[in-house]
Structure 1
């Protein structure tokens, strides 16, 4: 064997080895690229799922917020209607003439029962009812007209001796009736 042959064999072997290394490197590079593409695809899919979850969450939050705003607006509208109804009732009570004397007498009678018979009692009422109250008080002993109070009608009776004050006004009766029947009034108005 000549030296040229040995050199040529070494070169061929080196070329073959280089080709093998290159081939292995290409395969590794392809695997690395394939793994990287798979990782990138998996990461992309995960990001898409995350974005979809975030979109769904924001959609739910906006929907919940919109529902809450709608509910609040509906409750506010109902509250406004109930206030209007109550205002109308108060106006009708304030302008009521027909049963005013009978109701005022009944409220005064109930209030007077809270005091001792001999207690001096001061009776107040609506300014527009002064003449009515003076006429009614003429039938009672130990009761005198004490002026007006801001109310729809009825009486406020006080006694200095016992420091008792009884408010039997149309307002207080309306408040009790309103509170006791608010659910029914609301159901009637809003078809619940």
Structure 2
């Protein structure tokens, strides 16, 4: 009979295997870029080779937010063997809720992931002085796999009080068999009020 550790491992591994990742050896892509920041649209372009190597053709003072978001989208799609990622940590089951079965990892961020129907429905990460929780509301098909479409991230301070809430709406496009980001809209609510930001990408071309 499988142990609790083995059951948690199998549950989380199956969900991660169903999530779309970029192909091995992916060299990156270029695209035309439109960015909505501070109430205005700006046009430019990008060449993205990896999460750490993103070239933006935008004014320097506009690059921080799109660079961070593009790096995050690429990093979350990077192919990584499960055994060398979350699978390297001891884990156990937390019980079942309407959002699925909780899997708690004994990693540095005391992560908890809720799995339902081979989908990650919620993720909690804890940092030394803050924490955040990602609630994934819906996914979209990406060939035989899936990608997150609508999700909400709630940020808390060290006292557990909510500091900000961000709602994400992601869209994708298939280019020569590779699924790439085509849009990200982020609506943020915090003590400063409401902020709306958006990335739009088109005219994608894969790098070789």
User: TM-score, normalization: structure 2?
Assistant: 0.22
Structure possessing the higher radius of gyration over alpha carbons: 1
Structure showing the higher helix proportion among its residues: 1
Higher relative contact order (CA 8 A, sep 6+): 2
User: TM-score, normalization: structure 1?
Assistant: 0.23
